[in-house]
Amino acid sequence: MKFQSLKVIALLVLVSILVTGCGAQGEKAIDINLANRSYKETRSNLTETSNVIYFGFDRRLETKEDVKMYVPLLNYLEKETGYQFKIHVTPVNSSVVEELGQGKIQMAAIGTLGYLQASENYGAITTVKGLNTEDKDRYKAAIVTRPNSKIKTISDIRGKSFAFGDPASTQGHLIPRIMLSQKGIEISSLKYIQNFTSHSEVANAVMSGRFEAGGMQDTLAKSLESTGLLKIVAISEEFPSSGIAFAKGVNQEVVKEITRALVEFDPEGEDLIGLYHWEISEMPHGFTYANDEDYDELRSWARKFGLLKKVDGEVK
């Protein structure tokens, strides 16, 4: 079963690469009306009201695949809480962090760094974090290169080009920065760098040879290594995993009720039917409670790298 899941991950990434192409322009956002329309089709028996909770998400794979994965979760939350939810696709010229701060979305599936930025600058809160396949509320990142690369260790990356994930990505940006820094390699030690909008784009950038190494989600890296598409240079230590963040000002009773439903979500049991490749999400075994203090170590690293500063209206 585990091997089959890895093959599914690799297949989805390959589809993503074919869709996004080899350019460095980033993924095109799905038309939000199209995303909402497809979602409405699954909930057409519900009455529209103005009291809607908009749900955003960090990009992981190709955007349409992310939408298909999260829609069943929103269906579950509607059934369990009685609230109405709409999925919202963040345009490429914005970020989930900004949209939480601006009130365009009320909640989001977001990486740890994104949460720290949203908390620091906009007062967002987190109540749950994801459980991995080992039932741990932790995750790792990987540094990867091409299979035939001469790069063997992190130290070999000094002076090389490096592909990072989104600036607000924990596994694609913050943790790889930590891994490099622990070996004495800072941004100034690299030949050149670029941020990409998803882990699949980082994979594409390295596989195509445009970048000599990159940082990304460890599970995706392992699946691509198993198919011979990439080589893992190093895996990080464990850090608190992604979770669900709420914008400042969301009614606390609403937050409490949604949190309850998320913790009770059983993606491998009674809530399995209808899910779409949930096993490759950031929370394959569901959710557990989270506290802000869980993220103190990553917060310290993010401050060191200047990743929590707000500059000209944007979090950097």
CA-to-CA distance for 205 and 210, rounded, in angstroms?
A: 5
Q: Collapsing DSSP states into helix, strand and coil, what is residue 116?
A: helix
Q: Which residue has the higher pLDDT, 315 or 269?
A: 269
Q: Which of 211, 281, 271, 285 is nearest to 9 (CA)?
A: 281
Which string of b and e fits 8-34 if b means at least 16 CB within 10 Å?
ebbebbbebbeebeeeeebbebbeeee
Q: Which long-range CB contacts under 8 A does 306-310 form with residues at least 24 apart?
A: 307/113, 307/116, 307/117, 307/167, 307/173, 307/174, 308/116, 308/117, 308/120, 308/121, 310/120, 310/121
Q: Which of 101, 98, 40, 30 is nearest to 74 (CA)?
A: 40
Helix (H) or strand (E) holding 72: helix 63-81
Q: How confident is the model at residue 166 (pLDDT cuts 50, 70, 90)?
A: confident
CA-to-CA distance for 139 and 316, rounded, in angstroms?
A: 23
**Residue 301 tokens, joined:** 């690293």
Question: Using one digit for the tens of pLDDT, what is the confidence trace for 217-251?
Answer: 898 899 999 999 999 999 999 999 989 999 999 99
- Mean per-residue pLDDT of the chain: 85
Question: Using one digit for the tens of pLDDT, what is the confidence trace for 52-75?
Answer: 999 999 877 678 999 999 999 999
Q: Which of 24, 78, 85 is nearest to 54 (CA)?
A: 85
Q: How confident is the model at residue 314 (pLDDT cuts 50, 70, 90)?
A: low
Compute φ and ψ for 193, nearest 5 degrees: -135, 165
Environment class of 93 (CB within 10 Å of its CB; exposed 0-12, middle 13-18, buried 19+): exposed
Quote the pLDDT of residue 52: 93
Q: Count helices and strands (H / E) in the chain.
A: 10, 15
- Please give the domain boundaries of the chain with CATH numbers for all domains: 31-135+241-292 (3.40.190.10), 138-239 (3.40.190.10)
Question: Using one digit for the tens of pLDDT, what is the confidence trace for 10-41?
Answer: 545 444 443 333 333 333 333 333 344 443 33
Q: How far is CA 44 from CA 37, 75, 309, in A?
A: 10, 11, 42
**Which residues sit opposite 234 in a β-bridge?**
143
